[in-house]
Amino acid sequence: MVLKTVLGMSIAQHLEEVHQRIAKAAQDASRDAACVTLLAVSKTFPAADVRAAFDAGQRAFGENYVQEGIAKIAELADLRGGIEWHYIGPLQSNKTKVVAEQFDWVHSIDRLKIAERLSAQRPAGTRALNVCIQVNVSGEASKSGVEPAEAAALAHAVAALPGLRLRGLMAIPEPADTLDAQRVPHARLRDLLNTLRADGLDLDTLSMGMSADLEAAVLEGATMVRIGTAIFGARTYTT
């Protein structure tokens, strides 16, 4: 088997580096690294790269684009029993059906209409679709996500829907140059999750942290970090 290399290292080696970063950050936070799930973000990368990561022990993969994700799920159908597919991008109403049918998680719910459609379209007899509420913790006009002040109402409404299991919150904070600055929005999301828990919601997931800020996220309580570039390399986007 020929291993793809990224900057002279295989995907397996990059995965190991990321796990070491998570372990170090968890140690600094006096946390168990096993409590942090690594979600490998495979958007724009071919199914062969996902297979290489799977062969190296990675099991959870995130996709941002519906059609691309569905194509990879089909191409990697032989891995379906062991792989977990997460949809992490903005979701339009006309794409909810296929996501409800094919994915295991959706991280990007920011309005009740999308959650209601996923609930209605989740196939009967399958396990509940794990979902997170996306929160715009940095207040960026260009970012998706519910405003923090509106998160509680949306979370309670989503938690009541059949076919879904509300797991927690997701955010994509505004980039920052220092660790201390990176920690601020992650702490804000953690505090919001704790508020929702105190309000009676059974939540266990903080989906936050990417290649550039995973240490800040883990220090502030992330239970799932979404890492792409540090595993697969720089992306090339085409129109």
Each residue's pLDDT tens digit, 76-113: 999 999 999 999 999 999 999 999 999 999 999 999 99
State residue 144's pLDDT score.
87
Average pLDDT on 115-121 reads 98
Structure tokens belonging to residue 91: 């979701």
Residue ranges and CATH numbers for the domains of the chain are 5-232 (3.20.20.10)
Average pLDDT on 118-131 reads 97
8 A C-beta contact, residue 55 and residue 78: no
What is the chain's mean pLDDT, rounded?
A: 94
pTM: 0.94
Read off the pLDDT band of 1 (50, 70, 90).
Answer: very low
Give 8-53 pLDDT, tens digit per residue. Answer: 589 999 999 999 999 999 999 999 999 999 999 999 999 999 999 9
State residue 216's pLDDT score.
98
Read off the pLDDT band of 5 (50, 70, 90).
Answer: low
State residue 4's pLDDT score.
55
Q: Cα–Cα distance between 121 and 80 in angstroms, integer?
A: 20
Of 238, 239, 185, the closest CA to residue 210 belongs to 185
Q: What is the identity of the amino acid at 158?
A: V
Asked if the model's pLDDT at residue 130 lies above 90, the reply is: yes
Give 145-180 pLDDT, tens digit per residue. Answer: 999 999 999 999 999 999 999 999 999 999 999 999
Give 171-182 pLDDT, tens digit per residue. Answer: 999 999 999 999
Of 182, 159, 160, the closest CA to residue 171 belongs to 182
State residue 3's pLDDT score.
47
8 A C-beta contact, residue 209 and residue 226: yes
Average pLDDT on 117-137 reads 97
State residue 19's pLDDT score.
98
Asked if the model's pLDDT at residue 239 lies above 60, the reply is: no
Burial environment of residue 165 by CB neighbours within 10 A (0 to 12, 13 to 18, 19 or more): middle
3-class DSSP assignment, residue 207: strand
Element (H, E) at 3: none
Read off the pLDDT band of 2 (50, 70, 90).
Answer: very low
Average pLDDT on 112-131 reads 97
